[in-house]
Each structure stands twice: as structure tokens, then as C-alpha cells.
A and B are shown apart, each in its own frame.
Chain A
Amino acid sequence: MTDVDDQAKALEAKAQAAAAAKRQRLGAALRAAGIVVALAILLTILNAATHGDFLAPNNVLNILRQIAVIAVLAAGQTFVIITAGIDLSVGSLIALTGVLMAGVLAGNTNPIEGVALAVLVGLSVGGAAGAINGLPVVKFNLPPFITTLAMLDIARGLAFLYTGGKPIEIDNTAFTFLGGGFLFPGIGHLVRIPGIPTSVLIMLAVIIAGQFVLTQTRFGRYVYAIGGNEEAARLSGINVGAVKLSVYIISGALAGLASLLLAARLSSGIPQSGGGSELLNSIAAVVVGGTSLMGGRGSMTGTFVGALLIGVLYNLMNLLNVNSYAQDVALGAVILAAVLLDELRRRYFAA
């Protein structure tokens, strides 16, 4: 074969690659446009079906407030799941850190000092529980399913032991402001809402920070690398143990933060809290958001969209007076459909 042939072939290959890249970009653009159009149509229809209640500023605000706890939990869960792990303890950690924070607040007369101490206790106890989840995973290669399942029981039990089973009331307006307060009332007046809820701002801050860490930092790259191929990551010189331990600590600490939002909203630390759908919804938000349970793939923005989808769904069904048992059926079906669609899309565009 001659050089001319080789050059021609190289050019052809280049042209093909360029065409493929163009197709891909076009595909991505069409996909994005399609989603936006479909979403707009859907929202209009739904808004009409609920007589305009759905898109009312107050209702939109409500949805965001309602998903704040789940989204913060799911943000931590995202880190863990991208490493191919799982954290089953987050629901119970809400209860444990919640009652501890309430206890700290009850025992502290200075309101500001109390809040600072409570926040510190909530985040560090959550983080410490995460470390206890992660250590056996890192040191003895235990499955995270088991260690976090154990923590699920331990944290719940401790929450009940600490409170004797009764809620601890929180009487500290500085603290409750974090979960139920509003900021920027000026903006709020424009659309006739009281302002932007602090809990929503905290949630957005967590999501943005999480997205930054995952996509822009060395640590984030390592998280994906470990989930993609742990042995290759180790042989590339990554301290796999430290990164894995960190994701469980992050998840635990964010469970503490989610607990803070919940306790502040309810003005009490409740040992039973976080025992309902919180854990499973946090996992569902991550998975619906396109993160693979097999690890190595996913995003924080996806998780936020997943949490939003779940929140919107609950909200709509409430507005439409759907029976609460039927709501569970619908939610399950939507989770399945969303993950299935994501998988099909991936296959189609990978081919």
C-alpha cells in the first residue's frame, strides 16, 4: 500500500470521526430540545389539570422544600454509589443526629452558641457514623450493604435509647430558621411568596458543591475511577482506601445536614424520623438521575433531577387527590420507567 492510500485512508477516517462527533452532538442537542419541549407540554397540561395550582409560585416552592431532605441525602448517596457502594444507614442517621441536635439545643441556654454546637454535633456524629460504615469496607473488604445495614440498626437503636422513644422539642428560632425560614423576601414579593426558603438554598448549595467536587476536582475523578475499576485505580497510585472512607463520611455528614433541615422544620428531634421512605427515595433519586449502581457513572445534577421528579410526582398526585396507596404504585412504576428509558437511551447512543 502506498503513502497516498494511507493518507487518503487517514483523511477518510478523520472525516468519519468528525461526522460521528457531529451526529453525537446533534443527537445530544435533539435530545435536550426534545426533553425541554416534552417537559413544557407536560407541565402545561398538568398545570391545566390542577387548575393552575401546580405551577403557582407557592406550590413550586413547596415542592422544593419537600425534596430538600431527600436531595441532601441523595447527594451523599451519589458519592457512595459512584464508587459502587451503598449507604443504607442514612435514614437512621437522620433520627440519631436529629435527637442529638435537639438534645444539645435543649441543654444550651445561649441560642447562637446552641445552634453552632448543634450543627457541629449533627455533622460530626453523622460523619463519624460514616467513618464507622466505611472502615470495615476499606480495611476488611466487607460489603457496604452489610456495614451500613448494621449502622441502620445501631443508629436507630441509639436514637431511641437517647430519647426513651419520645420526641425532644426544639425551642430555638435561630435553629428552626434553618429548616423553615425564608431569605431574600424582596425577590419573594415579586411573585407573592414569602422569600426563598433557607432549606432550599442549603439544598442547592449542597448540589452545586457536590457537582463541583465530582466534576472539577481530583477527588471527584478518583471517585469515578474507583467505581469504574478499583484495581486499575489502585495501580494508578490512587489511595483507594482514603477515597472510599471519605465518601462514607460525606454521606454520613450530609445525613446529619438533612436531619438538621428536617428537625428545624418540625421543631423537634424525633427518634422515629427518617424511618419511612427517606432511605429508599434517596437511592431512587440517585438511580433515576442516571447514576449506575454498578459504579463509575453518574452525576450530581442527575441526582437533583431525580429528587425533583420524585417530589413533583408526589405533589401532583396530592393535587389530583390520588389515593396514597396508589401514589406508591405510581412512584414505583415511574422509577422503573425512568431507569429503563435511561438504559435504552444509553444503548441506542452507544451503538
Chain B
Amino acid sequence: MTADAGVPYLAVKGISKSYPGVRALVDVDFDTKRGEVHALVGENGAGKSTLVKILAGAVRPDAGEILIDGKPAHIATPRQSEAYGISVIYQEFNLVPELPVAQNVLLGREPTRGITIDWSAMNDRVASIFARLGVNVPLQAPVKTLSVAQQQMVEIAKALSVDAKIIVMDEPSAALTSNEVARLFDVIRTLKAEDVGVVYISHRLEEIFQIADRVTVFRDGHQIKTGPVSQFSQDELVRLMVGRTLDAHFPTLPPEPASSTSPLLSVRHLTLPGRIDDVSLDLRAGEILGLAGLVGAGRTSLLRAISGADRIAAGSISLDGRELHLRNPHDAIAAGIALVTEDRKAQGLILGMTVRENVTLPHLELFEHGGHVDREREAAAVSKLAADLNIRTPSIEQVTRALSGGNQQKVVLAKWLLQKARVICFDEPTRGIDVGAKHEIYELMVGLVRSGTGILMASSELPEVLGMSMRLLVMREGRIVGEFAAGEATQEKVIALATGTTAAAA
């Protein structure tokens, strides 16, 4: 393990890439040695993805060169990239869900005996790769039955099966629980020990300090700074990424509404078999009520039930003391309850539609006039919202697919501000969006509660749920297992309740 000696295995020099209207990368240098974890950080749109695509052979740079082992390399296709020992693990996995693990790992490179596949050789090879990684994954289980963390291990095994020298991981921890992240880090350390280099991309800065050797900051397509992790503090990374100092990570919250005020939303004994078990809660106008818990604890199910996305089996949901009988999201929206889903691409937006069309979709009837939709009034309303929310888009006629994550999230939010929702359920409000946009979303949430909206917020990021909640409920296995007032909760207390251990409290 000679992380510092010699020529880096992979180096790019003076790389530039422009798209119409955007300079995605400008004269960037970047390198990774074998046995090193090199973190790449930057806001969305900073150029990380473009660099990844260039390394993967999916995009050709306009200028600059790629060096492998010090020699110029020609990477024009994904196959060539693979031949140079570069493997990229994207956020969306490249796996065949129906096929078993072993076949996925060696897909397209199956060991053969004559013209048939040598199944036992295949299993042996795959088993030995997982043994090297020190992880246990059922080889014959179809990939779709695995957890996200296990699927990630399959991707890593796939990379090792082609003898990868450098593995690029794009937001590998985004969908993992904290336990799973810890296991991922064990695997990354194993990879380091085997002299594999890792390019680690993440928005979670605290992770960088746990796992990376070096870090490079990108901003607006420029490489801002590269150096050993020990030279940076988290605040400095944030400052370099956004190009300014964020006054605080979280805005100042308005005071918690008095508990004597009658609740805006009341949930009583809500039950969905197998997912939510007898949950009751009250949300007051002007309150941000946080929901913490592990993945699968029932936070998402609870928000979906309250917003009509899933039918409840038992219990009641009342708004202003009147019981609602929600059959579908339409009923909830009509009552004034909106859901900002955790997966904006799959559930929040219609990516092929424009900003305007997405924003007005829930309330198109407002713009109907004599049997047709009045586009000018639509555009006027959406333009105003886009300005209010600072949605950065060339025009409201831009298709939402082309926007960055943070701006996409603002479009989703705009959907529920057009006809102001009384209760907004946020599921992972800032997942996968950059620091600057996060801050803006937080500010918007504060603005909403100031004007009397009630917010229910589920988040897997503990700092977020601690920093943004006026009151905090902890869920475990479909039940509410604890409640904290603002300021009372600590990471340790919440984790202890969420995992059902008492160790942390001791």
C-alpha cells in the first residue's frame, strides 16, 4: 500500500467540457492513486457528474487529456474505460433485477465450458469476490429481493470481477442507513488494502472526514482546491463549495406554537397493516414537526397515508377538527394537504414536462377558462413563484429533466404553493441536493410556517431533523416511540430510541 509514492494510476489534465449555454468543466486537473480514497465534493452542477461521465467513457471532453499510469489514454467508450480498470457505480445501479446475484456480477463474462455456462465456476468466482470484501450476500437470490446496500455490494463485486483499479462511487451513501454506511466504509477500507483507488462523491461532508485521504472541491466547473482531508474543516469545505460563508447550517426557527392552540391536523390510531401501527399525532399551524427513525420505520408510510397516497386501514385523520375520508391524493389536496415525496424524479415531477406544466398540474382548474387552459395566466403565476422561490432555470418553459436537483425540488415545492397547502408533508426534503439549495429549502420551510402552514418532515439526516424540527417524534417499526421538544433532542437520544437500544442513553 504505497498511497503516496509514484505516478497516480489515473490522472486527468486540463480537462474542459462545454454544453450549449453551460461550461460544465473548465481546465480541471484531478488524479487518484491506487489504494487511495479521493473525495470529490461540490454543489449540484459543479461538474462532478461530467467528470464521472468522462472517466466512464460516456462523454468526450472538449480539451485536455487522460493519463493512465502516466501514459496518455484514449477513453471514448465505456468499454475502453473498463479496459483501463475504471469502474463507475452510479446512484442508479446497472443491475438486472430479475437475475440472481452471481449472474449479475459476471453478466456478459460468464465462465463457460464448451458452449454452456459453467455454473459452479461462476458461483466459485463470485463467492470468492464477496469473501474478499468480507460481505455476505445470497448468491442465488434475484437482485430485486436485495436491500439497496446489498445491491451496492453486488456493484462493487462486479467492479472487482473486471479487476478494477479505480472505482468511482457516485453518492454511494445516499440511500443507506447509518449502519449500512458503516459497513460500506469497511468495504472501502478493504478495497484500499487491496490497492484499489476509490473516487468518492458525496454530499454528506462528515463522511468525507471518515473515509477520504484527499479531497477535491469543485465549483461551477472549476477545480477550487485539492489537498489532504486533514487540511480542511467541514466549515471550510462548505465555504469552498458554495463560494461564501453560510451564516449557519440551519435558519433560526420561529417559536413553537403554544400547545394550547387547537391542532391543525390530528391523526388518531392510524393503522396500515405491516407498516404503521396505531399512530396518533397532532400538528399545529405554524409548526414543523419532525419524524426521525431508521429506513423502514414507517415515516414514509405515515406521510403517504396522511396525504392520501395510500389508503388507511383504521384510524382517523382530521383537519381543523373535521374528520377527512381520504380515498386518494386528490381528496387530500382538495382538503389542503400536500406531499413532497422522497423521490422527486420518480414521484414528484414529470421530467419530460416543463416547469410551468409541473407547477400547475395539481391546480390546473384554477387556470381553466371557457373549456380551455389559459396559458398566459398560467405562465404569469408560475413566473412569479419561480422568482419567489429563486428557481434557477433559463425559462419556465424548460423541461424539468434539465434542472439540477435543488431546482427540481423547488419546482416540486412550487406545486404546493400555487394554491397554498395548509399542511405540507416533506419526505426527505433535501435528499441529494447541494448545500446552497438545502439552505434555501430550509428558509422556504421557515417562511411557510411563519405564514401559518403546518409542516410534517421526515428525514434520515439526523442533523437536519434535529436542526429543523420544533418538535420531534421518533418512529420505530411503525410506531411512535418517543417525542422531544426542540433543544431536548440529541443525536444519541434519537438513535437510541430509533434503534431500540438503551446503550446510547447509558
Residues of A whose CB lies within 8 Å of any CB of B are: 1, 13, 16-17, 19-21, 23, 212, 216-218, 221-222, 224-225, 228-229, 231-239, 296-297, 351
Contact = CB atoms under 8 A, between A and B. Distances in A.
B244 A235 contact: no
Given A235-B329, A236-B329, A229 B309 contact: no
A20 B351 contact: no
7 contacts: A19-B21, A20-B394, A217-B373, A233-B361, A238-B361, A239-B328, A296-B350
Interface residues of B, number: 37
B364 A218 contact: yes
Interface of B: 19-22, 243-244, 307, 309, 328-330, 332-334, 339, 341, 346-353, 357, 361-362, 364-365, 368, 371-373, 392, 394-395, 415
Contact of B339 (A19, A235, A238): A235
B329 A234 contact: yes
Contacts of A238: 330, 361
B368 A218 contact: yes
Given A236-B362, A296-B352, A351 B328 contact: no
Contacts of B339: 235
A235 B372 contact: no
B395 A17 contact: yes
B375 to A, nearest CB: 8
A327 to B, nearest CB: 36
B346 A221 contact: no
A1 B240 CA distance: 11
B329 A237 contact: yes
Given A238-B330, A239-B330, A233 B372 contact: no
Given A21-B394, A235-B341, A238-B361, A225 B330 contact: no
- 9 smallest beta-carbon distances between A and B, as pairs: A17-B394, A228-B350, A20-B21, A237-B333, A216-B372, A237-B330, A236-B361, A229-B350, A236-B362
B350 A217 contact: no
Given A1-B243, A232-B346, A232-B350, 10 more contacts: A217-B372, A217-B373, A228-B353, A229-B352, A233-B350, A235-B307, A235-B339, A235-B348, A236-B415, A238-B330
B244 A1 contact: yes
Contact of B351 (A21, A228, A234, A351): A228
B346 A231 contact: yes
Nearest to A19: B21
A218 B347 contact: no
B386 to A, nearest CB: 13
B42 to A, nearest CB: 15
B407 to A, nearest CB: 13
Contacts of A216: 372-373
